[in-house]
Amino acid sequence: MRLTDTLRFARDAATGYPMRTTLSVLAMSIGVAAVVILTALGDGARRYVVAQFSSLGTNLIIVLPGRSGTGGFNPANAITSTPRDLTIDDAGSLRRLPGVRRVAPLAVGTSEINFGGKLREVMVAGSTAEFIPIRNFEIAQGQSLPEEDWNRGSSVTVIGAKIREEMFGNNPAIGQLVRVGDRRLRVIGVLKSTGQGLGMNTDELVIVPVSLAQAMFNSNTLFRIMIEANSRDAIPGVKDQAMDTLKQRHRGEEDVTVITQDAVLATFDKLLGALTLAVAGIAAISLAVAGILVMNVMLVAVTQRTGEIGLLKALGATARTIRLAFLAEAAMLSAVGALVGYLLGQLGAFALRQFFPVFPAYPPDWAVIAGLSTALATGLIFGVMPARRAARLDPVQALMKH
Amino acid sequence: MSLIELSGIERRFLLGDTTVHALAGLNLQINAGEYVAVMGPSGSGKSTLLNLLGLLDRPNEGTYKLEGRDVTTLSPDEQATVRSTRIGFVFQSFHLVPRLTAAENIALPMTLAGTPATERNRRVAQALKDFGLDQRADHKPDQLSGGQRQRVAIARATIMQPALILADEPTGNLDRHTGDEVVNLLEALNAKGVTLIVVTHDQGMGARARRQLIMEDGRLKADLQQATMPNLAQISG
């Protein structure tokens, strides 16, 4: 039989039984749609997190107090290794390292901001002028924190866009005196709105000089030291040197942790990539189930059409012709199912993006290709057995079954 | 040379633990152009004989020569080719594919054989005209009367221009009038030189054949040549 005739014959056979054809196409399309949507979700989460981390700043190295990681618990540690505080001087010592472009100490706490009878709880970040370029913030109005001795701390503040709106409304904010905690501070700048960020919402942030923040919270320690390296290549060197410098300053004790943004990013990337794969694997099970369903449907088709198979044999069809006709039908069911599922999946991903615009729910190419080819492959593999059974039927027996 | 030559054909079936001899020691020769009716009670081996002649079944012993060629030793695929090109089947229950139109049913043997579409359409159009089905070309089998269905089946059986037509109770599901029409059609094909072998219960129909094979218990009980029909040998001699 010619290929076009085989395909037409298979198509007519499939459309001749609309109910079972619809059901098996539906099963296959649900499987493929599940793969597309779930991987879109998983990969969307990965992209979202990666984008958020990238927005923290570029070539970033972060120093945190305390030792994390190896060593395990040891009774001696419990007594001796109370982490030494990270101080402003520690941060200052890192500025002189080669390969370092900017350093910003960071102390955080919550306090209240008060202006014109309005009171609001805010997150206070104590830092320096360099904090703003390191974190890729931009000044919308006024100016940044002054370049001054880190230990001095003028009574000024840079406030987030949302704070400005809530406290001042349409009135000018620059130059006004606000009360933060027990201090009176002059507003010298307003940050540009950045929307929701990872960890802290910059729109609701109040930035003050670092020594002022420490005084407000009555503490000498820093929450973080942020270092920006000159280039991506300089990151490992700066990381090692920062560790060495701080170890020296802390009398040879490694009581700080230095992480690079790249490492954090890579960890999240790996984690969420694995999650996407796991989700794809779960969706693949539904594809296998759909494949088995196609096999079941084809086995029923062989039984239903036993008389027809006998007739085809009597009319001179070879076993190969019959095998191909049934295989083509199985392939057609899974191909149409895969296509419908792909469209459904893309539609679902599109709907997700419409409802959650910040969430980049695009199915990755590998998942789409793997989903479609798994669907076609299972359809074909599970189509072989029914097709062989059809081809092996005894024509005399088959004709009697009509 | 005879068209069909059966010698020492045995066909046994195992039913439970008893062996049934559906055909036993059958020797038979049928010449090209003959019109043969195979008759006999149920279980006498008529259908088994027809299946064997149609290469749908294989004998346990003996040889079957079709057009001088031993076809019992052919591979299944070679037998399929012989069925496709040399043998046409007409069944009691028509055996039309319900989802295909009359024209597509008639074209089915050519489709299976891989005949090009243009050639197929030409021959189907001719067949539809010959069998008075031109108005019914696009009808599905369930939209056709019994007689029309059997006409479609006969058109399908002849579309590959076979040497041999095997008809199994071709009028069994038809009333007398349409049955007669179908028999006339088959006899007209026979008059054009196609060998016709009909299995039937119907005495009247059997009597119309020039040669009657009466079967009983898998053996040939009688082989009657119709006296009324002039023998070709006598005419030429």
Query: Which residue(s) pair with A147 in the sheet?
Result: none
What is the average pLDDT score of chain B?
90
Nearest residue of B to residue A2 by CA position? B114
Q: Count Cβ atoms below 10 Å from residue B112 Cβ, excluding itself.
A: 26
Asked if residues B136 and B102 have their Cβ atoms less than 8 Å apart, the reply is: yes
Per CB-CB distance under 8 Å, the chain B contacts of A391 are none
What pLDDT is recorded for position A199? 53
Burial group, residue A243, by CB count within 10 angstroms (0-12, 13-18, 19+): middle
Mean pLDDT of B207-222: 92
CA A389 to chain B, closest CA, distance in angstroms equals: 16
Q: What is the pLDDT of residues A188-213, one digit of tens each?
A: 999 988 765 545 577 888 999 999 99
**Residue A311 touches partner B, C-beta closer than 8 Å:** yes
The whole-angstrom separation of Cα A342 and Cα A370 is: 11
| Predicted confidence band of residue B233 (pLDDT cuts 50, 70, 90) | very low
Give contacts of A5 with chain B, Cβ < 8 Å: 111, 114
Residue A87 has phi, psi (to 5 degrees) of: -115, 170
What mean pLDDT comes out for the span A143-170? 89
Tokens standing for residue B128: 């539809």
| Packing angle of the helix pair B146-158, B102-113 (nearest 10 deg) | 20
CB A286 within 8 A of CB A34: yes
pLDDT tens column, A13-30: 888 889 889 988 998 999
According to the model, what pLDDT value does residue A68 have? 60
Minimum CA–CA partner of B50 in chain A: A396
Percent of chain A at pLDDT above 90? 28
DSSP for A27-79, written as a single string: HHHHHHHHHHHHHHHHHHHHHHHHHHHHTT-SSEEEEEES--STT---HHHHH
Reported ipTM: the value is 0.89
- CA dist A77 and A262 (Å) reads 30
One DSSP character per residue, A239-269 reads HHHHHHHHHHHTTT---EEEEEHHHHHHHHH
Please judge whether B80 and A314 are an interchain contact, meaning their C-beta atoms are less than 8 angstroms apart: no
- pLDDT interval class at B214 (50, 70, 90): very high
At A197 the pLDDT is 53
Averaged pLDDT, A125-152? 88
Share of chain A above pLDDT 70, in %: 94
pLDDT of residue A284: 83
Whether residue B18 is predicted with pLDDT greater than 70 in this model: the reply is yes
Q: Tell me the nearest-neighbour CA distance from A345 into chain B, angstroms.
A: 33
Mean pLDDT, chain A, integer: 86
Chain A residues with CB under 8 Å of B156 CB are 315
CA–CA min distance A16, chain B (Å):
6
Amino acid A305: pLDDT? 87
CA closest to B95 among chain A residues: A311
Q: Nearest by CB to A316, which of B57, B80, B91?
A: B80
Determine the average pLDDT of the residues in A372-396: 89
Checking if the pLDDT of A148 tops 80, the result is yes
Could you count the other beta carbons within 10 Å of the beta carbon of residue A387? 23
Give the tens place of pLDDT for each residue, B159-207. Answer: 999 999 999 999 988 999 999 999 999 999 999 999 999 999 888 888 9
Asked if residues A309 and B108 have their Cβ atoms less than 8 Å apart, the reply is: no
DSSP assignment of A78-124 = HHH-PPPPP-HHHHHHHTTSTTEEEEEEEEEEEEEEEETTEEEEEEE
Nearest to B80 among A16, A317, A402 (CB): A317
* pLDDT reading at A268 higher than 90: no
A223 touches chain B (CB under 8 A): no
- Fold classified for B4-236: Rossmann fold (3.40.50)
The pair of structure tokens assigned to B138 is 């696009």
How far apart, in whole angstroms, are the C-alpha atoms of residue B75 and residue B81? 10
Query: Over 90: is that where the pLDDT of A78 sits?
Result: no
What is the reported pLDDT for B235? 44
A48 band by pLDDT with thresholds 50, 70 and 90: confident
Contacts of A130 (CB under 8 A, 6+ apart): A102, A103, A104
Q: Which of A66-70, A255-259, A338-342, B170-174 has the lowest mean pLDDT?
A: A66-70
Q: Name the 3-class secondary structure at B14.
A: strand
DSSP string, A190-236: EEPP--S-SSS-GGGEEEEEHHHHHHHHT----SEEEEEESSTTTHH
Q: Is the pLDDT of residue A349 over 70?
A: yes
Strand pairing class (B164-168; B195-199): parallel
pLDDT tens, B31-47?
999 999 999 998 898 98
**Is residue A90 a contact partner of residue A271, using CB atoms and an 8 Å limit?**
no
**pLDDT (tens digit, 9 = 90+) per residue, A97-111?**
888 999 999 999 999
Beta bridge partners of B90: B167
Burial class (CB in 10 A: 0-12, 13-18, 19+), A354: exposed
Given a contact cutoff of 8 angstroms between Cβ atoms, the answer to whether A348 and A13 are in contact is no
> What is the predicted pLDDT for the residue at A200?
59
- CA–CA min distance A338, chain B (Å): 26
Q: Return the pLDDT at A402.
A: 54
- Please enumerate in sequence order all residues whose Cβ is within 8 A of that of A96, keeping only pairs 6 or more positions apart, or say none: none
User: Which residues in chain B are contacts of A317 at CB distance < 8 A?
Assistant: 80, 84, 112
Q: Which residues of A touch B168 (CB under 8 A)?
A: none
CA angle A357, A360, A366 (to 5 degrees): 155
Q: How many residues does chain A have?
A: 402
Domain residue spans of chain B: 4-236
Look at residues A381, A284, A291 and name the one whose alpha carbon lies nearest to residue A327. A381
Residue A309's pLDDT band (cuts 50, 70, 90): very high
Q: Alpha carbon of A27 to those of A41, A89, A288, A291, A333: distances in Å?
A: 21, 65, 10, 9, 10
Question: Does B122 score more than 90 pLDDT?
Answer: yes
Q: Give the tens place of pLDDT for each residue, A112-129.
A: 999 988 899 999 999 999
- In this predicted structure, what is the pLDDT of residue B198? 95
Is B138 a residue whose pLDDT tops 80?
A: yes
Q: Looking at the predicted structure, is the pLDDT value of residue A62 above 80?
A: yes
The pLDDT value recorded for residue B232 is 47
| Mean pLDDT across A70-87 | 58
The reply to whether residue B112 touches residue A16, judged by beta carbons under 8 angstroms, is no
Band (B71; pLDDT cuts 50, 70, 90):
very high
Q: What is the mean pLDDT of residues A238-244?
A: 90
For residue B236, the model assigns a pLDDT of 42
Q: What length is written for chain B?
A: 237
The closest alpha carbon to A297, from A25, A76, A114, belongs to A25
